[in-house]
Amino acid sequence: MRGSPRHPGESLREDWILPLGLTVAQAAERLGIGEAELQSVCDCRSPITPELAVRIDRVLGGGDDTWLALQSGYSLAMARERLADVPLSRYQADESGGLAEVAD
């Protein structure tokens, strides 16, 4: 995934939780979520949800909108990577009300 953005869970762990001297279990307790849920995010297996973004901002800071933007950027980059070789064409309405393929 060269050139892809870093999963926000990695940033949460490396830039916020560990520098504060917290374990994932301690951070999860402060966030009011289960350790397994936070571990999954920190291990880049699960996304930062809107609810988790609000919790992270209230407990650690960084801005809930920023956490969601990081997740959105990561998710979009992964979708682009997965669909890079999928042949898709753009269509638009033609004069008769039907669809016509748009040439690149």
- What CATH superfamily classification does 8-86 receive? lambda repressor-like DNA-binding domains (1.10.260.40)
Domain boundaries, the chain: 8-86
Residue found under tokens 């269509």: 91
pTM value is: 0.83
Tell me the pLDDT of the chain averaged across its residues. 94
List pLDDT tens digits, range 68-94: 999 999 999 999 999 999 998 899 998
Which of 54, 53, 37 is closest to 45 using CA atoms? Answer: 37
CA distance 5 to 81: 11
User: What is the band of 2 on the pLDDT scale with cuts at 50, 70, 90?
Assistant: low
User: What is the band of 1 on the pLDDT scale with cuts at 50, 70, 90?
Assistant: very low
Say if residue 17 is exposed, middle or buried (CB neighbours under 10 Å; 0-12, 13-18, 19+).
buried
Angle, in degrees to the nearest 10, between helices 24-31 and 50-59: 100
Residue found under tokens 């994932």: 24
Query: At residue 35, does pLDDT exceed 80?
Result: yes
Instruction: Specify whether the CB–CB gap between 69 and 57 falls below 8 A.
Output: no
